[in-house]
């Protein structure tokens, strides 16, 4: 059975730009300036998306002078992956179980 997937994590990953940010951060730790260059998004828009990712627990920050670097939290992604693997396994056996219609 799938154990409570955090809806904030799912919402955060459901936006195309945030998903792109996650994919970029999977390759390397980046600051906002790098993310603006990579995505073409405006800095204020990007900052709002990074806030959502931060609040969902998907990224963490590291201040460096006047810049802030962002990196993924692989433990959160691994936990989500495990929950989906459990759901997939449950779905494999669901075909064996069928409720009778009244």
CATH code assigned at 86 = 1.10.10.10
Between residues 39 and 97, the one the model is more confident about: 39
Per-residue pLDDT tens digits for 58-72: 999 999 999 999 999
Domain interval for residue 77: 7-90
Instruction: Tell me the CB-side half-sphere exposure of residue 46, using CA atoms within 13 A.
Output: 19
Domain count, the chain: 1
Per-residue pLDDT tens digits for 41-60: 999 999 999 999 999 999 99
Residue 95 counted as domain residue: no
Residue 45 counted as domain residue: yes
Residue 78 counted as domain residue: yes
State phi, psi for 16 to the nearest 5 degrees: -60, -40
Residue 82 counted as domain residue: yes
Confidence of residue 3 (pLDDT cuts 50, 70, 90): low
Residue 58 counted as domain residue: yes
Give the predicted TM-score (pTM) of the model: 0.80
């Amino acid at each position: 059975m799938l154990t409570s997937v955090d809806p904030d994590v799912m919402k955060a990953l459901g936006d195309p730009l945030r998903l792109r940010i996650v994919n970029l951060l999977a390759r390397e730790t980046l600051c906002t300036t790098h993310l603006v260059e990579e995505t073409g998004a405006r800095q204020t828009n990007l900052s709002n998306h990074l806030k959502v990712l931060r609040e969902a627990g998907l990224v963490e920050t590291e201040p460096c002078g006047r810049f802030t670097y962002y990196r993924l939290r692989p433990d959160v992604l691994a936990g989500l992956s495990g929950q989906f693997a459990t759901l997939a396994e449950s779905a494999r056996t669901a075909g064996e179980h069928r409720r009778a219609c009244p």
